[in-house]
Structure 1
Amino acid sequence: MSRVWGELTWPEAARLAASDPVVLWTVSATEQHGPHLPLSTDAVIAAGLVSEAERHLPSQFPLVHLPALEVGASLEHEGFPGTLSVPAHLLTDWVVRMGRRLAASGGRRLVILNTHGGNRHALEGAALRLRAEAGLLVIPVHYPRFGRPPSVELPDGEWRHGLHGGAVETAMMLHLRPDLVRTDELRPGPSLAQELEASLEIVSAEGAAGFAWLAGDLNPLGFTGDATLADAAMGRTMVEFWGARLAAVLRDARAFPLDRLEGRRAPLDGSRSSDAGPGVALGTGPARGAPADDPLSELFLPLMADARFVVGQLGQGLDGRIATEEGHSHYVTGEEDLVRLHRLRALVDAVVVGAGTALSDDPRLTVRRVPGSNPVRVVLDPRCRLPETLRIFRDGAAPTLHLVAAEDDGGEGASPGRHRAPAASVETSGGSREPGVERVSLPTDADGRFDPGEVIRVLRARGLSRILVEGGGTTVSHFLEAGALDRLHVTVAPLLMGSGRPALTLPPIRRMEGALRPRTRIFRLGSDVLFDLDLRSGASNHQG
């Protein structure tokens, strides 16, 4: 039995997603189709094919309809009045965002029915991104690829050149919505591509060597093909044939063995993959798509739905200490929080730590407690004081960026025998370091610190858009003070150190009105309590 997503309440949507249905999304266009067909032609055909497909499915088939998207990438038709269009890259981004929201709600199987040729490449790109980023099974369907209905007799030239508003689309409209067809405007629409066949060997408007075209290039009226060849009976045969093929796709989507989709995100340098071992199925572990009964699914929803974010992370005792005076912190929080942290690492593109944390903890910064891919490791070391014996420089488990100051002023901060990279330089691994380690130079301020905004800019220039600032307290405080964090996870453990290193240190304020009061969600992790702070929620500014 099919359901409509927009008619559900949120508890109903959660329960329905947990039942692992097939989710169907129609993507079409609102664009000119010549003087005889309406702007809504593609949307009407999409609805007709879906209705026909449902006739071929069992009554209890678990199908969910997402709200139809009826504006697509129609650049080729923008020269004609009435056409509504978005750039192809925006269509891709929109579909990816909606797919991430579906995955965050528990959906796993998405079929996208496309009825506009201009959408095809954008949707195929979005499908691949959703596979990689959200773990979804995504099947983009372009109905003309189902082949020609065997009982429909049309000239071969009409099948090849009647690309838009010709006999095929006109026939389906005469069957589905004859009231919208301007029959007095039916006429042949000769295509430039057909005319050029006599002089060109391979190049045409479509096919293996298709040239880029605008609708007006092929025919000044905006359509190609002979609309006078169409009739309603022909249209009914087409809808029945392609609708039945769509039903077969939906059945296959339901039967598809998701556990056979296995793979891991390759590191940027191609050297290693995840610590989780071979055969980790993307989207099946909690790092990419949490199951509906997962108590932390709500925690990760805002992050899974966002393509660009910076989240800070701290684990502290009741007295606000994150480590002893000597820097020992293994471990302040319990096992449940450590699993959450590894899930967070699996969700991000890059994990950032300061030199102090790298020196005192010698962390690996990899994903080990859950399935998932290792993020790029980024260590902020403006004084270039870290020894090359640290594991992040030697284990080769993930690409590592070593950020150092752009110039060496010869001051006391620099470690003996070390150097700083020249301004604006990048050094590849050398000495005892493993391949995959890069030293990147950045300017520092008067206090010898990096600008958090510049760090983020450098990472995003490398395609690292989802960033975790994991510590220590000084580094997280610096990013927070600079307004560079979108969210902050603070886990409080039931222990007292009485002394040690503080979690956050910000400039002093004079009155409580100057305190940050962001929107906060609270989660229990065994005996620990996690506070998820939304720093983009319009909280008060930190001011004196």
Structure 2
Amino acid sequence: MMIVTMQPIDCIVGTNRRAMSPITMPANSPETIPVISMGIANHITQPWDDDRVKRVWPGPEIELSAAEVAEAYPWPLNRGLPWVRANMVISLDGSIVGTDGVSKSISSPADRSLFGQLRRAAEVILVGASTVRAENYRPAPIPLAVVSNTLNLPAGLALFAEASEETARSMVLSSQVAIDAAPSDLAGRIDLIACGVQKFNPRNAIDALAARGLTRIHCEGGPTLLTALIEANCLDELLLTVSPVFVGSAARLLSPSQFPGLPLQPKQVLTSDGSVFLRYLVTSE
């Protein structure tokens, strides 16, 4: 099936200059029909096979080994203090899922490889219950901290069904009110941690994880959780993969909110197989 993909042709950080570079296709690329529109090269084509990871900013442009890719995402050295890193993937039109309703279909092999590296370097995976259900999350070697206001976590979820001695025990971060009304069998399947009285409080959740020695916090969304972290000023870093496809889905990176603008400082730009990997730090300015 033919799909619409887009090849990045220029990377400009810190300016609003519009890129009008000539199209340069990889030597092994398939036949392509270029369409120049609004300064962007559109291609109706099959994706080419080039999973090499390159750093394009800051320069000079270089190809990175797997070890160098891992080193490109350091955790801060101030051990003991929590650091919240969100890792999300979006399409060019802003969707966080493909037409099948899951993020994997807009993710590339390079993105999934990086995703695995980032997980392994973290101490806890923070994720919303809706994402756990939609993406069929499985237990991991490090703990999963699942955020849920309703505790709608059926026993048949892979998160519980596939748990073993080799996987870390997961936990649920919720409100005290929800925990008091939780099904009696839920506590036997997962640790229940109150982070707020009437409703989930992101700041209380981060403090609760840090109190357990889990300070390298890798957040995987979804939109409701990411928005809540931003509203509570709990986000320290954003890793955003831009996948070169149009989807048309209504699912977006953030939920509607009234929080003020969030200043972000770009730190690096990597590319692989048409995807662009952006790294931002949250600043106070």
Equivalence for 1:493: 243
Native 8 Å contact 1:408 1:420 kept in 2: yes
Equivalence for 2:25: none
Q: Distance in 2 between matches of 1:315 and 1:391?
A: 23
Q: Distance in 2 between matches of 1:452 and 1:475?
A: 8
| Cα distance change, pair 304–357 in 1 and its aligned pair in 2 (3 A) | same
Unaligned runs of 5+ in 1: 1-290, 367-373, 410-417, 540-544
- AA aligned opposite 1:507: S
| Cα distance change, pair 327–296 in 1 and its aligned pair in 2 (3 A) | same
Give the 3-state SS of the residue equivalent to 1:518 in structure 2: strand
Pick one of 214, 217, 229 that aligns with 1:464: 214
Equivalence for 2:279: 532
Per the TM alignment, residue 428 of structure 1 is displaced from its structure 2 partner at its CA by: 8.0
How big is each residue's C-alpha offset from its partner over 1:332-355, in whole Å with a ceiling of 9 and x where there is no partner?
Answer: 210111111111111111101101
Equivalence for 1:419: 181
How big is each residue's C-alpha offset from its partner over 1:89-123, in whole Å with a ceiling of 9 and x where there is no partner?
Answer: xxxxxxxxxxxxxxxxxxxxxxxxxxxxxxxxxxx
Tell me: higher relative CO, structure 1 or 2? Use CA pairs within 8 A at least 6 residues apart: 2
Equivalence for 1:401: 171
Per the TM alignment, residue 405 of structure 1 is displaced from its structure 2 partner at its CA by: 2.6
Q: Does 1:327 align with 2:80?
A: no
Give the 3-state SS of the residue equivalent to 1:501 in structure 2: coil
Q: Distance in 1 between matches of 2:66 and 2:104?
A: 30
Q: Does 1:443 align with 2:199?
A: no
Per the TM alignment, residue 524 of structure 1 is displaced from its structure 2 partner at its CA by: 1.2
Unaligned runs of 5+ in 2: 1-63
Structure 2 matches for 1:304-343, cutoff 5 A? 305-307=77-79, 308-323=82-97, 327-343=101-117
Pick one of 438, 453, 457 that aligns with 2:203: 453
How big is each residue's C-alpha offset from its partner over 1:502-521, in whole Å with a ceiling of 9 and x where there is no partner?
Answer: 012353589xxx46342332
Per the TM alignment, residue 377 of structure 1 is displaced from its structure 2 partner at its CA by: 0.8
Give the 3-state SS of the residue equivalent to 1:496 in structure 2: coil
Q: Distance in 1 between matches of 2:104 and 2:65?
A: 31
Equivalence for 2:12: none
- AA aligned opposite 2:247: M
Give 1 or 2 for the bigger CA radius of gyration: 1
| Cα distance change, pair 444–491 in 1 and its aligned pair in 2 (3 A) | farther
Q: Distance in 2 between matches of 1:379 and 1:522?
A: 30
Structure 2 matches for 1:42-441, cutoff 5 A? 294-301=67-74, 303=75, 305-307=77-79, 308-323=82-97, 327-364=101-138, 366=140, 374-396=141-163, 397-408=167-178, 419-420=181-182, 429-430=187-188, 433=189, 437-441=190-194
Per the TM alignment, residue 481 of structure 1 is displaced from its structure 2 partner at its CA by: 2.2
Native 8 Å contact 1:325 1:501 kept in 2: no
Give the 3-state SS of the residue equivalent to 1:439 in structure 2: strand
Per the TM alignment, residue 384 of structure 1 is displaced from its structure 2 partner at its CA by: 1.3
Give the 3-state SS of the residue equivalent to 1:457 in structure 2: helix
Per the TM alignment, residue 527 of structure 1 is displaced from its structure 2 partner at its CA by: 1.9
- Select the structure that is richer in strand: 2
Native 8 Å contact 2:237 2:281 kept in 1: yes
How big is each residue's C-alpha offset from its partner over 1:155-189, in whole Å with a ceiling of 9 and x where there is no partner?
Answer: xxxxxxxxxxxxxxxxxxxxxxxxxxxxxxxxxxx
Q: Distance in 1 between matches of 2:207 and 2:173?
A: 13
Native 8 Å contact 2:139 2:170 kept in 1: no
**TM-score between both structures, scaled by the size of structure 1:** 0.37
| Cα distance change, pair 444–337 in 1 and its aligned pair in 2 (3 A) | farther
Give the 3-state SS of the residue equivalent to 2:105 in structure 1: coil
- Select the structure that is richer in helix: 1
- AA aligned opposite 1:485: L
- AA aligned opposite 1:300: Y
Q: Distance in 1 between matches of 2:100 and 2:195?
A: 29
Q: Distance in 2 between matches of 1:533 and 1:508?
A: 21
Per the TM alignment, residue 523 of structure 1 is displaced from its structure 2 partner at its CA by: 1.2
- AA aligned opposite 1:384: L
RMSD: 2.9
| Cα distance change, pair 520–444 in 1 and its aligned pair in 2 (3 A) | farther
Equivalence for 1:288: none
How big is each residue's C-alpha offset from its partner over 1:468-494, in whole Å with a ceiling of 9 and x where there is no partner?
Answer: 111112211211222101111011000
- AA aligned opposite 2:224: T
**TM-score between both structures, scaled by the size of structure 2:** 0.67
- AA aligned opposite 1:405: S
Equivalence for 2:16: none
